[in-house]
Structure 1
């Protein structure tokens, strides 16, 4: 699964103060100063690795910002990096009400919902995201979740679409090995492994074994494919 490892910095240059003609010069100045103060607090807290203070600064900025979606992106990303998936799900749910086309919110929501066990909702967001970004990694997530949800025909269609794409040999997928270390293989190898699992579900064991071997040819030492091949037909 694609893992987002960066903090989304969208505050500077995006936040807009809620100014109206009815506000006095003094009140405008107060708002400007408070926004700048909270932006500075956020940046310093991130620099000093103090998530609670950075998070509070974001909540304060939500009070002033006309672009709440941008602030909510940063807040959801912060919760994601803290592995607080219930909060990620709640923040992104609110964000998608404000902006259903927000790709950052769609992806973070899908990741969080998947980890929380709400796989149908996660798949729905991945499918919406793919319609917007046409990204092979997103479609792989769609295909794999369709398999997990036993929507085998749909998963097979998604895999076949991916296998025709030109970028699947360059893209890398990560899998956790038995010793808990990470192994990187090409997306082609991952797709062939998934296609083999689908053949196994159809009862075509010879085809499944053939595809597991193709996956191993594409990525020698691919542990998951080796394990699946050893179990095929048993």
Structure 2
């Protein structure tokens, strides 16, 4: 009986010893759990701080700090696509076309209608010589924005890739658009300066190049002459006509 009583007392004592520990553990867990509102306020404060530092870095032309802050903002705010858009644009402006292309392509996986993502991807890939990969981004950019320069780039890349029928379709779309006569493009001159010509004249010149490559000299001549009627000082069109 005495032995039984000893075991009973031990069990009670163990229960008393264990209970405070459990309470202490519960108290510790309660202290480590951060309320959602507090966490949100903390992230907002860090975002504000990082945005201020980014703005200062850009003002002081410190691209390395600006990029680092954008990376931190992207990590903290994965659903805010304005940060990768800004990073892609920054890389492009710094002529780091490999990086700008990669950021833009990752961005387009999340939002394939991002105009900034499409523009940076298209021009970056073109700069890298990846014309086949750049082409669909120029096409999408035109379809989504109606931008005529994107249509011109589409037709020029199609011509460069010897996709002549597609190039003709694109350039004819451009020629039929009334806004093409109101916009200008820059082209190099022999003296290494630049000259402005109407986009319509540029489209006719490109049309002449397409016909020339296809061996259609008569159609090419007509297109080059039409380009010169629109922009009489268009040196590139003059050279192309002379080459015939």
- Please give the TM-score of this superposition, normalised by the length of structure 1: 0.85
Q: Which runs of 5+ in 2 are unaligned?
A: 1-32
Q: What is the RMSD computed on CA atoms of the aligned residues?
A: 1.7
RCO higher in structure (CA 8 A, sep ≥6): 1
Deviation per CA, 1:11-50, whole angstroms, max 9, x where unpaired? Answer: xxxxxxxxxx964555444322211110001111112222
2:225 maps to 213
Tell me the SS of whatever aligns to 2:113: coil
Give the total of aligned pairs. 212
Instruction: Map 1:76-225; keep pairs closer than 5 Å.
Output: 76-225=88-237
The alpha carbon displacement at 1:53 in A equals: 1.4
The structure carrying a bigger helix percent of its residues is 2
The alpha carbon displacement at 1:99 in A equals: 0.8
Tell me the SS of whatever aligns to 2:50: helix
Range moving further from structure 2, 104-113 or 200-209 = 200-209
Range moving further from structure 2, 91-100 or 180-189 = 180-189
Tell me the SS of whatever aligns to 2:185: strand
Instruction: Map 1:12-51; keep pairs closer than 5 Å.
Output: 23=35, 26-51=38-63
Range moving further from structure 2, 58-67 or 138-147 = 58-67
Larger radius of gyration: 2
The alpha carbon displacement at 1:182 in A equals: 2.0
Alignment partners' CA distance in 2, 1:173 and 1:220: 15
* Structure 1 runs (4+) greater than 6 angstroms displaced: none
2:5 maps to none
- Please give the TM-score of this superposition, normalised by the length of structure 2: 0.81
Q: Alignment partner for residue 64 of structure 1, among 76, 81, 89?
A: 76
Tell me the SS of whatever aligns to 1:32: helix
